[in-house]
Structure 1
Amino acid sequence: MTIDTAFTHFPSLATNRLQLRQIQPSDAEAFFAPFSDEETMQFYGEPHRSLDDTRQAIEQTQARFVQREAIRWGITLTGEDQVIGSCGFHHFDTDFYRAETGYILNRAFWGQGIMIEAMSSILTYGFAELGLHRVEAIIDIANERSKSLLLKLGFTYEGNLRQRYSFQGRFEDQHYFGLLKDEWHGSV
């Protein structure tokens, strides 16, 4: 399979405990919980103030898939259809076989190994099915939870990007992580 093939039909994935599926407009209420939570959004962006903010974010996610810019999976528990988070790939660079990854999880599900399971699934898919050679993650320098997740997944810390983005009126540093195909050993 190639990246182009993945954009022809949305790829659903399954793990022992999770289903990863395409995000739908009907997921807005479930997604509003993490996207409106101050602590969850601390390193992600401005918290959503209304359900319309979340609906717009879902529309953007769907549009980016149609435009072949990103694949973002909604995470559900097996046998349930309510999304509890999402993860995916964006910033594809097909000439160099790389993409960037990102994720968010409803705080009620933190500490249960859900994101490591979901990310393991998409990383395996990215390396085996999309033909990626490298996956990158760029996180806020203070986001210890995300840093811990990336290290558990086998990512390598590659450096600090000084004052890379503006957030809440100040310029913030970011940590840069990378994972190569030959470093990936399947699920963690």
Structure 2
Amino acid sequence: MAAAVWSPADGFPVLRTARTVLREITRADASALFAFRSDPEEQRHNDSPLTEAGQAVDLVDRLARDHRERSALRWGLTLAGEDVVVGLLGFNSWDVHHGRADVGYDLSRRLWGRGLAAEAMTAVLDFGFDRMALQRIEIWTESANVRSVRMAERLGFVREGTLRGYVRADDPPTAGGDGGTRHDVDVFGMLRSDR
């Protein structure tokens, strides 16, 4: 028998894998969140890195609001047996009506290369398809973000196209109208029927 469709009224879902626990992120996690969301190397491909500690509290509040409004669902990633948030991942946007969402993932650099993000993302994808009634999940990532592209491929996403010059880097446009440095974005998709 299939599990009932999850609703925010059911409370925040906790997901467990062999090595991780995905749980609600709270204001108590703000300093840990700031630690990895402000690291320049970790955030090189993120268009909204944190630059001040207060921004982490604002982010926690926004994540809680998005969860209540059913517009996004992001988990704090902790290692099993520990309760320090070392990553943030989940559904950046969620369209309930159309049954689709896009996912993103951030992980503390000290944990890169261990397969933890892929392990946790597998649990997130399962939850999305099995409990949120999603029909489609997408990953949008800068083409130059090799780690993210590999992750999408490892998880079984299909590259559906490249949006050329889709995002602007931090350098400001010049008066001559060159628009600043532009980056391509790859779009990956996975349908429920792909699993």
Q: Contact 1:7 / 1:65 at 8 angstroms: preserved in 2? A: no
Structure 2 residue 148 is matched with structure 1 residue 146: yes
Moved more, 74-83 or 163-172: 163-172
Q: Contact 1:7 / 1:68 at 8 angstroms: preserved in 2? A: no
1:60 positional shift: 1.3
Q: Contact 1:138 / 1:176 at 8 angstroms: preserved in 2? A: yes
Query: Match for 2:24 among 16, 19, 22?
Result: 22
- Aligned-pair RMSD on alpha carbons? 1.4
Query: Match for 1:111 among 105, 110, 113?
Result: 113
Counterpart for residue 193 of structure 2: 182
Q: 1:7 to 1:85 in 2, by over 3 A?
A: farther
- State the structure with more CA Rg: 2
Q: Contact 1:29 / 1:51 at 8 angstroms: preserved in 2? A: yes
Spell out the pairing of 1:61-140 with structure 2 (5 A cutoff).
Answer: 61-140=63-142
TM-score calculated relative to the size of structure 2:
0.88
State the Cα deviation string for residues 140-176 of structure 1 (Å, max 9, x = none).
Answer: 1100000000100000110011222233133322100
Distance in 2 between the 1:47 and 1:181 partners? 32
State the Cα deviation string for residues 11-46 of structure 1 (Å, max 9, x = none).
Answer: 111011111000000101111121111011111124
Q: 1:10 to 1:46 in 2, by over 3 A?
A: closer
Unaligned 5+ residue runs, structure 2?
Answer: 173-179
Moved more, 49-58 or 139-148: 49-58
Give secondary structure in 2 for the equivalent of 1:104.
Answer: strand
Q: Contact 2:71 / 2:95 at 8 angstroms: preserved in 1? A: no
Distance in 2 between the 1:126 and 1:176 partners? 18
Q: Contact 2:8 / 2:68 at 8 angstroms: preserved in 1? A: no
Distance in 1 between the 2:9 and 2:163 partners? 31
TM-score calculated relative to the size of structure 1:
0.92
Q: How many residues align?
A: 183
